[in-house]
């Protein structure tokens, strides 16, 4: 992981102070950030052309593909994503580089002063800081990832993006977005703007029908997966097709069939925005150079790797809901076809998630699940609670007091069964767990 040192930084103190400005961690509204942006001179009106990305799963990977392809075409690209894994700086990328500490500190202090102690959420005030940074640095494009939902997300103050993308919608964050697919899809559809093309990823019938109805009311031109564009693997190549024709491309560097979908969403969006002028060669180079930590990331060195069985294959993935679990299970099943190994999961999850729905995807695939509490996270499910959920889904499981101990338990178990094949270990269940793994394994 590149970027600032994990040592304490001045920006960390400011960020901690900003969390006290509003009693609720999440309180969806546009009023507070519109007020603050007004005091800052409305920087959101002076930013580079925006591609706005919402959805339940695949947002981050789609943003990573967009960035890689645009940069391969020689474009200067700003990126705003969340959450971060190790350092807040990861959220703000300016023309290819993470924001530096001095600039971040100055922006946060400027926003804090302009806010004047008024109630505002952490995400809102830090989004305002990011918008200030983006407005002051020239670039050819800004890739803007929604934080939560869409309609009332702080990023949705953008009046006129050049394109929007809605990745697959599934049940997640029901306490904030609604408890059924249609309600959640309605929140995601809130980023669509009149006469601005929207690229729609694979959806359930309910979600697609609702988004199509909103698009019709708002005069939004839709490009729909499976109807207006599609992609698939053929002879270990990725084939993309839309109304402009067919492109034969290399497979994405990020493994898993779901990454073909995410890459296709990025390609479809770039081909809709004529002004970017991204040639096929840049699409190829972007597919092969894309990097997105914590999403099917192979770990090859570090203390946790050393604690694992010899020659174990170790992967890190932030999948944390049933849809993400299914995508991860499919990616692992693809690996299993080419190189069979006993699969061990190390899983930590937040209290707001659906562990049984997540674990259901691994029935018949995982040999064993070791459950852990996410280090230092008060919102984490206990290892015992996760163990109960895994057992309820018919998986062999055992709790562990730490991530390192989980790796040692897998080593002991592997020796006990006298397996001749080194195991495949997947650390998963939360992006917060992924961040803890990257910190501990640095």
pLDDT of residue 130: 98
What is the torsional sign of CA 137, 142, 143, 149?
Answer: positive
Helix, strand, coil content of the chain in percent (nearest 5): 45, 15, 40
Alpha helices in 290-382 (DSSP H): 303-307, 322-338, 355-359
Q: What is the CATH number of domain 10-289?
A: 3.40.1190.10
pLDDT of residue 323: 86
Domain spans in the chain, listed from the N-terminal domain onward: 10-289, 297-440
Is residue 55 within 8 Å of 404, Cβ to Cβ? no
Q: What is the CATH number of domain 297-440?
A: 3.90.190.20
In the block, residue with structure tokens 């299970």: 329
Is residue 261 within 8 Å of 303, Cβ to Cβ? no
Q: Give the whole-angstrom CA distance, residue 12 versus residue 84.
A: 13
Distances (CA, A) of 299 to 141, 216, 250, 320, 425: 31, 46, 23, 19, 10
Q: Give the whole-angstrom CA distance, residue 203 versus residue 372.
A: 32
pLDDT of residue 268: 97
pLDDT of residue 4: 45
Distances (CA, A) of 108 to 16, 38, 124, 260, 373: 11, 16, 12, 37, 32
- Return all residues near 42 (Cβ < 8 A) that are at least 6 apart: none
pLDDT of residue 172: 56
**Angle separating helix axes 280-289 and 59-72, nearest 10 degrees:** 130
pLDDT of residue 25: 62
pLDDT of residue 350: 94
What is the torsional sign of CA 308, 313, 318, 321?
Answer: negative
pLDDT of residue 6: 47
- Return all residues near 38 (Cβ < 8 A) that are at least 6 apart: none
Same fold yes or no, 10-289 and 297-440: no
- Residue 344 parent element (H or E): strand 343-347
Which residues in the chain come in under a pLDDT of 50? Answer: 1-6, 173-176, 178
- Residue 57 parent element (H or E): none
Radius of gyration of the chain (CA): 21
């Amino acid at each position: 992981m590149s970027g600032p040192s994990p040592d304490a930084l001045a920006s960390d103190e400011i960020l901690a102070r900003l969390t006290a400005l509003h009693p609720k961690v999440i309180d969806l509204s546009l009023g507070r950030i519109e007020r603050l942006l007004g005091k800052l001179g409305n920087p959101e009106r002076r930013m580079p052309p925006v591609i706005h990305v919402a959805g339940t799963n695949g947002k981050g990977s789609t943003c990573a593909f967009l960035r890689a392809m645009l940069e391969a075409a020689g474009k200067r690209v700003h990126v705003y994503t969340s959450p971060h894994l190790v350092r807040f700086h990861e959220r703000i990328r300016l023309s290819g580089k993470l924001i530096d500490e001095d600039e971040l500190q100055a922006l946060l202090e400027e926003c804090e002063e302009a806010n004047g102690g008024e109630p505002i959420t952490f995400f809102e005030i830090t989004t305002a800081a990011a918008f200030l940074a983006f407005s002051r640095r020239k670039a050819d494009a800004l890739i803007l990832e929604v934080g939560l939902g869409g309609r009332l997300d702080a990023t949705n103050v953008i009046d006129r993006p050049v394109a929007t993308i809605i990745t697959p919608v599934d049940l997640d964050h029901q306490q904030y977005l609604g408890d059924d697919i249609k309600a959640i899809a309605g929140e995601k559809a809130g980023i669509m703007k009149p006469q601005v093309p929207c690229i729609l990823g694979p959806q359930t019938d309910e979600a697609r029908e609702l988004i199509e109805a909103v698009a019709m009311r708002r005069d939004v031109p839709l490009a729909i997966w499976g109807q207006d564009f599609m992609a698939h693997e053929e002879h270990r190549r990725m084939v993309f097709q839309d109304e402009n024709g067919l492109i034969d491309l290399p497979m994405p560097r990020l493994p898993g069939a779901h990454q073909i979908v995410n890459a296709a969403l990025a390609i479809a969006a770039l081909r809709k925005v004529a002004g970017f002028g991204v040639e096929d060669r840049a699409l190829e180079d972007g597919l092969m150079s894309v990097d997105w930590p914590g999403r099917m990331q192979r770990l090859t060195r570090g203390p946790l790797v050393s604690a694992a069985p010899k020659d174990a294959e170790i992967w890190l993935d932030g999948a944390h809901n049933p849809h993400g679990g299914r995508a991860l299970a499919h990616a692992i099943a693809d690996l299993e076809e080419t190189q069979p190994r006993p699969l061990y999961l190390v899983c930590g999850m937040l209290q707001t998630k659906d562990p049984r729905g997540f674990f259901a995807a691994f029935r018949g695939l995982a040999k064993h699940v070791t459950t852990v509490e996410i280090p230092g996270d008060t919102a984490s499910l206990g290892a015992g609670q996760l163990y109960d959920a895994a057992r309820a889904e018919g998986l062999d499981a055992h709790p562990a007091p730490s991530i390192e101990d989980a790796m040692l338990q897998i080593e002991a178990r592997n020796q006990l069964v006298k397996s001749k094949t080194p195991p495949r270990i997947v650390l998963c269940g939360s992006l917060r767990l992924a961040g803890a793994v990257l910190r501990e394994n640095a």
